Structures are given as C-alpha cells and as structure tokens.
A and B are shown apart, each in its own frame.
Chain A
C-alpha cells in the first residue's frame, strides 16, 4: 500500500475515496476499487492485467518443443506448474503417457515448487499480518530465528528445483516426454538430510501458524481441486467441486466459463455462473484423506477441524502442504530407480489436448491445438488467480462491512489482508494492484 485518499464532496454526494497505490506483499501488482453507497458495499472490482493472455498469442506458430520453456516465463514463482500443464496437454495430443520414475520426478519437481512458493508466502508475506508487522523485514527484526528457518525451508525447495530443473527459477530440463536430463541416485540422495531437517521444521511451522489469532470469517465456498484416487494431487486427477461436480479434465470448459469484465484485462472464471475457490484450502478440504499419516496427525494435533472454511486459514493449509511436500519428496527419493532414458520418444500428430495440474495457488488449465507438423495452432491458459478473482471480490463484499467504520488507511489494510489470504500470483494474473475505496453518501 503506498497512498490513501480522503473524503471529498462530489456534487451533492459525499464521496469517500480510499486509494492504495500498490498492495503490499502479493506476488505482483494489480488494482482494486471499492464503492460504498449509503453505508453499504456497492461495488467491488478487482482489476487484473493478465500476461497469460499474451502468452496464448505468443505460443501460436511455435513448435511444440518450445512450449515448456516459453510458458515457464509466465511466472517466476510457479514456472513448473505452467510447464507441467503444458507438457501433459501436449502428451495427451501425441498419445503419450509418462509413467514410472519420470512421472515421479515430475511430482518431485512439483514438490520443490510448492515448497518454494508456500514458504515465501507463509514466512515473508502473510505471517506479518498475524503478528502485527508491516513487512517480513520488520517481522525479522523481532523473529529472526523464525524467518531464518523459513528461508532455510524455502531453500530446501530451491535445491530440488535446481537439481531437477537445472536452476531454481525458470527450470530448463522439462520437456514433452520427460526431461532433458535426469538425476542419478547419488544426486538425489544428497538432498535427503536437508529435506529431513526441513520436514521437521515444516511440522513446527504448522503448529506455529495454527496458534495465530484468526478472525471469525467463514464464507460459503465451493471448493474446487483435482482429486486422484490414491495421491494428494499434483499432476493428475479429476476436477472435483465440493458441490458434487466430478469431471474429467477435458470437460473443464463445459462447466467452467470464462467471461470478460469491463474493468479488468483478465477473464473471470465461474462454475455454473458462480465464483469458486481453488488453491491450498480447497485442495486440503477435498484431499485430506490422501495426506500422509504424519501430516494428518500434525494437523489433527492443532485442534483445527476440517473442512477449513476461513480464508485466513489458507496459511495453515499452505503449511500442511509444505510438510506433505517434504514427506512426499523423501518418499520419492527413497524409491527412485533411474529411468532407462530421460525421456520417451515422441510421435507428433495433430489434435487437441487439455491438462490441468495443481499449481501452488490452485488448478491451472491448459488447452492446445497442434497441427501435424507439431506447430501450435491454438492455446488457452486459465491460471488459478483468475479463477479465484471472483471469489476474492465476493469475500471482500462480505468482509468490508466490518471495517467501514475504520479510517481509510485501516480499511485498506484490512482489504489487503483478505486479498493476501489467496496468495494471489498477480504477476501471473495482473500487472498493477491499486486499491481504491469510494464511499458515496446521498
């Protein structure tokens, strides 16, 4: 937040404006405008400028094997998610199924990304809200040991990304059919000690965040996540909604509709016309029985009961998933048997393919049309933050009445805290976030 406005008469109406330059501690920038009339919230508009829309255009005309490296550039926080949804969609077109150790390595790489992304949000972006600090740096002054622990947890995720992806940001080893290079036993084993330390630190983190003070706030959510019969979902599963929907990924566009809103560059996505929630909270509520016994136990010991319906508990869900990701990484490393080849042979054929994977912030849907030469003819990308956009607006409508009697600055800070619950990756979905509250009185 960089600036706030004030009250000013506007014709016969009295208009109170609260404008926030840039919402702090979200990934990227965007803008929010709130209008209040006669003491009631009239309009909530989250404005999003969305690079994936440009990337959809960039991809057309490119060869399929360039796609993983291009889509990795959509986001520096969740490049693996973009790469995974892309390679799965293209592999579907080519009739290719990546199984065994290659599938496990993709899952391990995804663990690394969840850890990196979740740890940053927990320790640097959202914890300061609960502990009463204006930033992660301010929090570090009083809680240096905790922040240092958080950075070390994140670094353990980076180490997975660097080993499997070739580097910790914008990994370069992912390709259609597998990887350009796979690690050997010894390389993976070298990660184990630090991952084991981080697993224990992650369990401690679950206990730490669960003890924060949470406001009473439980909107009526429709949770949407991937569900897989035996795994906590990363790369594969059916799309399931708490409302009873249970569909294969290729039916996504039949049930989920994107529509333009005049105030935003991003398309908003709805399920049968209504907003819905994707991300850690939705995933945890729909998949908690696929967590490991240890992770389930650590969560149960906090005394919190599922489903978690408070968006502020997103930090708990993120911490639980971080713990799970460490356990899962250790399991995958333990059972790793290097594949005979780093990738499967690819036979190009024309067609349309869809895939959905679980990005740190929720389901990420890709659809591609490829011609017989392997050239992209059409691309569609639906990132999680666009899907949550309508839900963030709905939450703000519900939350704002609680803070309208406060000063402009305090009301804006409260809105920012609600927005941060979603860990919106606005660098995927937006360019600039300004917050403006306009209060109109007759």
Chain B
C-alpha cells in the first residue's frame, strides 16, 4: 500500500483556526494503519518535511477567502496545479500553505497526490472556541477524509 499522510494544520488558541488540528486528532483515532497523521501548528517550509516520502497527502486547514460562508469546505487538488495562495490565514510567517506547496512543486518534491481540504473560518481571535458553523464542518470534513482514504485504499489494492 502506498503511504497516505493526513496533515492537520492550525493554532488551537485561535478560534476556527484550530479546525485542521482538531480534524487530524479525530482522524488519528479512526484511520488505524491506513494513514499516518501529523498535527502541526506551523505551515511554513516545514510542510516539505511533513510531506516527505508520502505518496498521497490529505491536508486540512482553515481558510478565509471571505467569499464563502463560514463552514464551507473547499476540496482543492494541489497536485493538479497551484491553489490560491491568498486563501490560507497563516501567512504571517512569510511562507504559507500555498507557497510551501509551490516550493515543493518547484523543487520536485511534491507528493503524487496532494488534496487540500480548506474549511472557511469565521472568527480567529485569540482564545475563542470553534464557531458553530465550523464545528459542523469539522464533523463533515472528518467523514470526507475517511471516504477519500477508503477510496484510495480500495483503488490501490485492485
């Protein structure tokens, strides 16, 4: 079986920004040996190391496009081409998710398949809990990722 890796990004102190971390935590309990799970609070160039040697990466993070209602789940195929770099909130450290994925592509180290699940955030203030919309999306994205893994494991075993 080819390696599937789940990477959940987020900051657990910043409201809806925690959603990627929380999703990864739940998935860890449910995927068993079908995938490796990484919870990470940074999304800079370290993302290249996190993706290292994986065949398929399923990346979960909060996004703020300001064009969709909170809780909307975007499914983006980063292996097909660049994803909108302005979508992700964590650009305060110069290199965000979009940039890190492009760097990996440029250096020829992007895994075969990289699917990004971006969950539209509402509030990301320090100390806030998850908003109701994003809490709902958290349940949903966990199921979506499980389905994705299921389909990939089946495809690979044929």
Question: A-side interface residues toward B, CB under 8 Å?
Answer: 25-29, 54, 73, 76-77, 120, 124-125, 135-137, 140-141, 144, 147-148, 151, 154-155, 158, 168-170, 426-427
A144-B13 Cα distance, complex, nearest whole Å? 36
Cβ A136 vs Cβ B103 within 8 A: yes
**In whole angstroms, how far apart are the Cα atoms of A25 and B44 in the complex?**
12
Most buried by B among A25, A26, A76, A148: A76
Nearest chain-A residue to B85 (Cβ)? A137
B residues near A54, Cβ cutoff 8 Å: 126
Q: Which residues of B contact A29 (CB under 8 A)?
A: 91-92
- Taking the closest CB of chain B, its distance from the CB of A5, in whole angstroms, is 20
User: Is the pair A169, B41 in contact by a Cβ cutoff of 8 Å?
Assistant: yes
Q: Per a CB cutoff under 8 Å, which of A25, A137, A168 touches B106? A: A137
Contact B41 A151 (CB under 8 A): no
> Which A residues are CB-close (under 8 A) to B49?
155, 158
The SS class assigned to the B binding surface is: loop
- Find the B residue at minimum CB distance from A148: B107
- Residue of B91, B92, B93, B107 near A147 (CB, 8 A) is B107
For A77, the chain B residues whose CB sits under 8 A away are: 93
Tell me the minimal C-beta distance from B61 to chain A in angstroms. Answer: 15
A169 to B103, CA, bound (A): 20
**Which residues on B sit within 8 Å (CB–CB) of A25?**
94
How many angstroms between the C-alpha atoms of A137 and B101 in the bound complex?
A: 10
Q: How far is the CA of A293 from the CA of B61 in the complex (A)?
A: 46
* Contact between B92 and A137, CB atoms less than 8 A apart: no
A137 and B93: CB pair below 8 A? Answer: no
Bound-state CA distance A169–B11 (Å) is 11
Residue contact A26 to B42, C-beta cutoff 8 Å: no
New A-B pairs, 9, CB < 8 Å, besides A120-B95, A144-B108? A28-B93, A136-B103, A144-B107, A147-B103, A151-B45, A158-B46, A158-B49, A169-B41, A426-B92
Contact indicator A137/B103 (Cβ below 8 Å)? yes
